[in-house]
Amino acid sequence: MDMQFLRGNPQAPKGHAIFIARSTTDPRTIFCTYCIVPPTPLSLAKYLPSFLAAQLPPEELREAANVNVMPIPPMLEEGSSLEHLQMLADRRDDDLCDIGTINPKDEGARMQKVAEGCQEYGQLYLNYTLTFEEVASPARMEQLDEPASPLDDLDTEELLMQTMTDRERLTELGKLAGVARYALEGHDTNLLHETKRKMQRIAERLADKYKSFELMNAAMDAGERSARLAELYLERGFKLLDEEYADIPQIERAIRELQNQ
C-alpha cells in the first residue's frame, strides 16, 4: 500500500489517524475509519469476564493481551465530505491518511484495506518510536523495554481475522472451500496448501460447535461426497449462528448418512 499523508508527517506519525478511501464508482464519495496505536501496551484480556475468558482458546487470549494497532470501526464506512474530515483532523490534531480507492460493494475489500492501512501506519509509528530518546525512570514498565517486538506478529491477514465476526469467518470458510475444490480439480498443490493454511487460521478462531475443522477436512478431500459434506457443515454452522436449531437435526442426519457411505 502507498499511504499518502494529507495531514501529518509519515516520519513522525501521531499514533492516531483518520483513514480515507475514495469510491471507485464516484471519487467524490469518501469512506473512512479511525486508526489508533496505543501509546502503552494494551491488554483487552484483563477486562474480559472470567467466565468468558475461560471459553476462549489460549491463542485468542494471547492476541487479546497484546493489541498493537486498533481500527475503529474495522471496516471503511461511508463518511462525510473530505473537507469535513480535514476540519476534524485539524481540530483534533489527527493524522489524515489517504489509503487509496475502494469498491463500495465489496465489504471484504473494505476490511482488507483497513487491515493493510493499519499495518503500514503501525509500522511507521514503530519506526518513529525507535528515534525516541531513552528516559530513565524507576517506574518504567517492563513491556516498554522491547520497542521492536509489538509488531512482530502483525500481518494483514491476522489483523483481518481478528476483526471478523463469526458470520464473516464462516462466509470466508465457504469461499475458501470453493477455492479448495478448484485447486483439487486443477491439481494445483500449491494453491491447495495455501488454502488449507488460511482455513486453519480461520477455524482456530471459531468455537468447536461450528465444526469448522470438519468442514475444512471435507473441503480438502476430492469427490462429490466430500464436497456435499463441506456444504452441509457450512449450512449447519449458519443455522447455529442464526439460532435456527430446529433445522440442525436434519442436517446432522444427512452428514451421518454421507459419512456412513
What integer pLDDT is reported at residue 181 of this predicted model? 84
For the chain, the domain total comes to 2
Answer yes or no: do 125 and 32 share one domain. Answer: yes
Given 120, 153, 186, the domain boundary residue is 153
Give burial (CB, 10 Å; 0-12/13-18/19+) of 114. Answer: buried
Q: What's 8's DSSP letter?
A: S
Task: Tell me the C-alpha to C-alpha distance, in Å, between residue 140 and each of 34, 133, 146, 223, 230.
Answer: 29, 14, 12, 59, 52
Q: SS3 of 196, please?
A: helix
Q: Are 6 and 96 in contact (CB under 8 A)?
A: yes
Answer yes or no: do 223 and 171 share one domain. Answer: yes
pLDDT digits (tens, 9 = 90+) for 147-172: 444 444 445 566 666 677 888 888 88
What integer pLDDT is reported at residue 143 of this predicted model? 47
What integer pLDDT is reported at residue 137 of this predicted model? 47
Answer yes or no: do 140 and 184 share one domain. Answer: no
Write the single-letter amino acid at 52.
L
User: Considering the domain boundaries, does residue 158 fall inside one?
Assistant: no
User: Considering the domain boundaries, does residue 193 fall inside one?
Assistant: yes
**Bond before 73 cis per omega within 30 degrees:** yes
Does the model's pTM come out above 0.75?
no
What integer pLDDT is reported at residue 144 of this predicted model? 43
Answer yes or no: do 56 and 136 share one domain. Answer: yes
Low-confidence ranges of the chain (pLDDT < 50): 61, 64-65, 136-141, 143-154
